[in-house]
């Protein structure tokens, strides 16, 4: 079964600093990878996804992630964060061989931006 | 509506009572998913519908949990004889079709079992 590990439960960063949120997944076979963001008291919103093709994926709000098959990683990055990026971020994986319906999520990383 | 809606937004119930949680997917979306978000377990998949059928119920934690979908639209998640460990936020998502299509999430129903 697939599993996802988000190595940091909390990441505090100063405004305008760069940030990287780390995500590793368990399987070495083909996977689909996702990053979702959850703002306080809201549902999950898709930031970006990797299905195939270029390993560098660009998403909304200036975020990007790089798929690294050999490291089984899909780290999320942003070169300069804003106060509005304060939220919880979830990495998720699905298995295309099983129809890709079920998302398996990591435990989440709470990103706090300090002025 | 533009997005996935869920009702109620909050539900407080007593242990042993039954609850029903409702999800209205985005119009035209054929696939619908239920997830549960709790402090101890994080975000867990519960069940997935394609149309009115549920090909994957593997995440339902016990036979106290059931779900149905009617008319290829609204879905209801029912929890019978609620227990305190059922307290969580129940999230619904829908996608245009099953597979690699983006899942759009609703705001969730926060269930508290006293």
Q: pLDDT digits over A68-102, tens only?
A: 999 999 999 999 999 999 999 999 998 877 766 78
Is pLDDT at B1 greater than 60 in this prediction? Answer: no
Residue range B81-88: average pLDDT?
96
CB A114 within 8 A of CB A12: yes
Predicted local distance difference test score (pLDDT) of residue B97: 77
Residue A16: CB partners within 8 Å, gap ≥ 6? Answer: A80, A81, A82
Is pLDDT at B102 greater than 90 in this prediction? Answer: no
Q: Residue A101: which of B26, B93, B60, B84 has the closest Cα?
A: B93
Q: What percent of chain A lies above the pLDDT cut of 90? A: 74
Predicted local distance difference test score (pLDDT) of residue A100: 65
One DSSP character per residue, A22-36 reads: --EES--S--EEEEE
Instruction: Answer yes or no: do A43 and B99 touch at CB < 8 A.
Output: no
Is pLDDT at B99 greater than 90 in this prediction? Answer: no
For chains A and B, count residue pairs whose Cβ atoms are closer than 8 Å.
59
Predicted local distance difference test score (pLDDT) of residue A60: 94
Which of A33, A42, A44, A94 best tests the B interface by mutation, with the highest count of B CBs <10 A?
A44
What are the chain A neighbours of B99 within 8 Å (beta carbons)? Answer: 96, 99-101
Q: Residue A27: which of A62, A69, A84 has the closest Cα?
A: A69
Is pLDDT at A1 greater than 80 in this prediction? Answer: no
Predicted local distance difference test score (pLDDT) of residue A28: 62
User: How far is it, in rounded angstroms, from Cα A65 to Cα B5?
Assistant: 29
Predicted local distance difference test score (pLDDT) of residue B101: 78
B26 secondary structure, DSSP code = P
User: Model confidence over B17-38: pLDDT tens digits?
Assistant: 999 999 999 999 999 999 999 9
User: Model confidence over B47-64: pLDDT tens digits?
Assistant: 999 999 988 888 999 999
Residue range A54-67: average pLDDT?
95
One DSSP character per residue, B91-102 reads: EEEEESSSSSSP
User: How far is it, in rounded angstroms, from Cα A33 to Cα A51?
Assistant: 7
Is pLDDT at B113 greater than 60 in this prediction? Answer: yes
CA separation, residue B16 to residues B60, B62, B81, B99, B113 (Å): 18, 14, 4, 37, 9
- Among all residues of chain B, which has the CA nearest to that of A99? B99
Which of B1, B5, B41, B43 best tests the A interface by mutation, with the highest count of A CBs <10 A?
B43
User: How far is it, in rounded angstroms, from Cα B45 to Cα A41?
Assistant: 20
Flag whether residue B19 sits within 8 Å of chain A, measured between CB atoms.
no
């Amino acid at each position: 079964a697939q599993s996802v590990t988000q190595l940091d439960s909390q990441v505090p960063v100063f405004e305008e600093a760069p940030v990287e949120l780390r995500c590793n997944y368990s399987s070495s076979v083909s996977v689909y990878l996702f990053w979702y963001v959850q703002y306080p008291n809201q549902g999950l919103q898709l930031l970006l996804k990797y299905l195939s093709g270029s390993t560098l994926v660009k998403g909304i709000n200036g975020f990007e992630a790089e798929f690294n098959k050999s490291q089984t990683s899909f780290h999320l990055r942003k070169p300069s964060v804003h106060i509005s990026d304060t939220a919880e971020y979830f990495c998720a994986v699905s298995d295309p061989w099983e129809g890709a319906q079920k998302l398996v999520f990591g435990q989440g990383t709470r990103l706090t931006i300090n002025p | 509506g533009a997005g996935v809606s869920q009702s109620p937004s909050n539900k407080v119930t007593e242990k042993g009572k039954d609850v029903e949680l409702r999800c209205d997917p985005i119009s035209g979306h054929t696939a619908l998913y239920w997830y549960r978000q709790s402090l101890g377990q994080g975000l867990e998949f519960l069940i997935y519908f394609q149309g009115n059928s549920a090909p994957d119920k593997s995440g339902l934690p016990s036979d106290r949990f059931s779900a149905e979908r009617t008319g290829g639209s609204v879905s209801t998640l029912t929890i019978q004889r609620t227990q305190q460990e059922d307290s969580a936020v129940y999230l619904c998502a829908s996608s245009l079709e099953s597979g690699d299509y983006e899942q759009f999430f609703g705001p969730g129903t926060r269930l508290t079992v006293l």
